[in-house]
Chain A
Amino acid sequence: MLKVFLGDLKDEIYNPPIYFDNQYEDEWITDALSRQMILDIDKSDVISSHIIESPYLGAITPKELSGGVKTLILMANDESGSIFNATACGDNCAKWILEIANRKDLIITLHHGMRFGEGPFEIMILNTGRVVHNRQEWLDVVYDYV
């Protein structure tokens, strides 16, 4: 289930791309879900754990992935218990956040009103404990906090 804390949270990782650069592991890059997310968001193919082929940048390393994809890979793979700021992700990452949360309990922070689509989905707002299921319920609460 996806659990979202809206607004500032003590000890959140506010800048996930920098955290990624210093903490990522090779196997995170070649993981099947990571490959799909990198292809969908960055339009790039994972060649190996160290080389990714970008249509715009040529051959790049994982450190040159977009901030959004880096944050998604952290959400999917990091097991440190860190809570990542999903405002580093664009709306094109929202479906992947929901997908990761389908596979495991995921807690994130948000500082903006991310578009999760029409729904249905299940998102628990940790500020109140309320679970929202669609866009209307999301809009009813999100801008009370961000």
Chain B
Amino acid sequence: MKGLYEVNIQNKRIRYQFTIKRNITIIRGDSATGKTKLLEMIEAFSREGRSSGVELKCDVPCVVLHGGDWKQRLDYIHNSLVFIDECNSFIRQEAFASEVKYSDNYFILVTRDDLPNLSYSVEEIYGIRLSKQYAGLKQTYNELYHLYGEYENVFVEQPKKLLVEDSNSGYDFFRKLIVKGISCDTARGKSNIYRILLQNKSDEKCAVVADGAAFGSEMERIIQLIESGRAIALYLPESFEWMILKSDILDDKETRDILSHPEDYIESEKYSSWEQYFTKLLISKTVGTYLKYQKDFINKNYLQEKIARQIIDVFPDRMQKLFVPEKNVESLSD
């Protein structure tokens, strides 16, 4: 399944409108915001159609999955939006994670569990709120909003440390271009970042770069550290490979087209996370060229001043100042 799907659903009193575009979407937040009501309406329409009194518009079927026989039911569901309400314990099982990976459905999970065995994007974690858009005197209009939007790209002045999720080419690239006075460390995986930050001195300023495409399960705990007063800046591009593609160093029209609406190219059956697609795309676009990309370590041609500057420029302005692409490449290629 690929593409972007708008969902419009309403009854006499409540209306929801939102867009789904990746294989996994998470809905969480405070109690009594209408999460369960949304799923009740979808289930009523799924069971009774228009005679339920619910109006549902979507280009693909919307179904609600629950109960002990979830796996058997899922075997018969294809090219659909599959909604699962909170308190369904099976979503924490490895068996469920295996079904979601490479499924031909998109999943919308109402849950406060972090679900570390699923790769989901920080961009697809939503809360539900009343929209300011007018619906009607007797009808409230609910919309989804990015739950952590305000924390992305928050800068801290003069960080002492850059912590990079990646331990391969991305880390290799950043550590060779970091300005003097800032240490650059690898976390060796997303699941180590929280513990490393927690063990830092509480007043140590730290910038974190991680792959946003699969960082969703870590987001809540990192945000709670920031809320507790830690000086942490979060930079969450889709992935390092996405940054290279986005920098336009390939000067390739097809790449620009893909990045403008990746959901139309990334098949959920083939890629459990968008970062896998971007890695494969970058490798295929650079094979046989002087920019040949390999995951293990950075090709030194990416460290040439002009190319490195273009990649660093994908970061927000103030983050760019942490790097010096003008450094002598030869002295840095150790």
Interface residues of chain A, those whose CB is within 8 Å of chain B, are 14-18, 41-43, 56-58, 66-69, 85, 87-93, 111-113, 115, 135-136, 139-140, 143, 146
**CB-based nearest B residue for A110:** B112
Which 3 A-B pairs give the minimum distances between C-beta atoms?
A: A68-B31, A90-B30, A66-B32
**10 A-B pairs in the complex with CB atoms less than 8 angstroms apart:** A18-B87, A42-B32, A56-B34, A57-B14, A57-B37, A66-B32, A87-B87, A90-B33, A135-B228, A146-B114
Q: Can you name the residue of chain A whose Cβ is closest to the Cβ of B12?
A: A58
Closest chain-B Cβ to A134's Cβ sits at a distance in Å of: 9
Say how far B107's CB is from chain A's closest CB, in angstroms: 18
Q: Which of A42, A69, A88, A146 contacts B86 (CB 8 A)?
A: A88
Q: Is the pair B87, A115 in contact by a Cβ cutoff of 8 Å?
A: no
Contact residues in A for B88 (Cβ distance below 8 Å): 15
Q: Which of A41, A67, A140 contacts B36 (CB 8 A)?
A: A67
CB-CB under 8 A for A111 and B112, given A14-B87, A16-B87, A139-B228:
yes
Give every chain B residue within 8 A of A115 (Cβ-Cβ): 224, 227
Q: How far is the CA of A113 from the CA of B220 in the complex (A)?
A: 8
Bound-complex Cα distance A136 to B197 (A):
13
CB-nearest residue of chain A to B110: A67
Q: Mark B28-50, 1 if CB is under 8 A from A, else 0.
A: 01111110110000000000000
Q: Say how far B87's CB is from chain A's closest CB, in angstroms.
A: 4
Q: Does B306 contact A (CB under 8 A)?
A: no
Question: Which of B30, B33, B36, B194 neighbours the largest number of chain A CB atoms within 10 Å of its CB?
Answer: B30
- In the complex, what distance in Å separates the CA atom of A15 from the CA atom of B66? 12
With the chains together, A113 CA to B222 CA distance in Å? 11
Chain B residues near A135 (CB-CB < 8 A): 228
Which chain A residues lie closer than 8 Å to B250 at the CB level? none
B143 CB–A CB distance under 8 Å: no
> Contact: A92 with B30, CB < 8 Å?
yes
> Can you add 14 more A-B contacts, CB < 8 Å, to A67-B86, A67-B87, A87-B113?
A56-B13, A56-B140, A68-B30, A85-B87, A90-B112, A92-B31, A93-B31, A112-B114, A115-B224, A115-B227, A139-B198, A139-B221, A139-B225, A143-B221
A16 to B112, CA, bound (A): 15
Knowing A41-B31, A92-B30, say if A139 contacts B224 (CB, 8 Å).
Answer: yes
Whether A43 pairs with B228 at a CB distance below 8 angstroms is no
The residue in chain A whose Cβ has the minimal distance to the Cβ of B92 is A111
Residue of B nearest to A18 (CB): B87
Q: Indicate whether B98 reaches chain A with its CB closer than 8 angstroms.
A: no
Residues of B within 8 A of A136 (CB): 228
Cα–Cα, bound, A143→B220 (Å): 10
Find out whether the CB atom of B87 lies under 8 angstroms from the CB atom of A88.
yes
Q: Does B117 have its Cβ within 8 Å of any Cβ on chain A?
A: no
From B29, B112, B140, B221, A87 is in contact (CB under 8 Å) with B112
Contacts of B34 in A (CB 8 A): 56
A111's nearest neighbour on chain B, judged by CB, is: B113
Q: Does B224 contact A56, Cβ atoms closer than 8 Å?
A: no
The answer for the CA separation of A27 and B221 in the assembled complex, in Å, is 39
Beta-carbon nearest neighbor of A44 in chain B: B32
A143 to B31, CA, bound (A): 22
Q: Which residues of B contact A139 (CB under 8 A)?
A: 198, 221, 224-225, 228
How far does the alpha carbon of A85 sit from the alpha carbon of B92 in the complex, in Å?
14
Residues in B49-104 with C-beta less than 8 Å from chain A: 86-89, 92
Q: Closest CB of chain A to B24's CB: distance in Å?
A: 17
Please indicate the chain B residues that have their CB under 8 angstroms from the CB of A58 in the complex: 13
The answer to whether A112 and B220 touch (CB under 8 A), given A16-B87, A88-B86, is yes
Chain B residue nearest to A86 (CB atoms) is B112
Contacts of B224 in A (CB 8 A): 113, 115, 139
CB distance from A44 to the nearest CB of B (A): 9
Q: What CA separation (Å) do A51 and B5 show in the bound complex? A: 38
Q: Give CA–CA (A19, B273) in the complex, Å.
A: 36
Measured CB to CB, the nearest residue on chain B to A85 is B87
B87 lies within 8 A of A69 (CB)? no
Chain B residue with Cβ nearest A118 = B228
Residue of B nearest to A40 (CB): B32
Residue among A17, A87, A136, A143 facing the most chain B CB atoms (10 A cut-off): A143
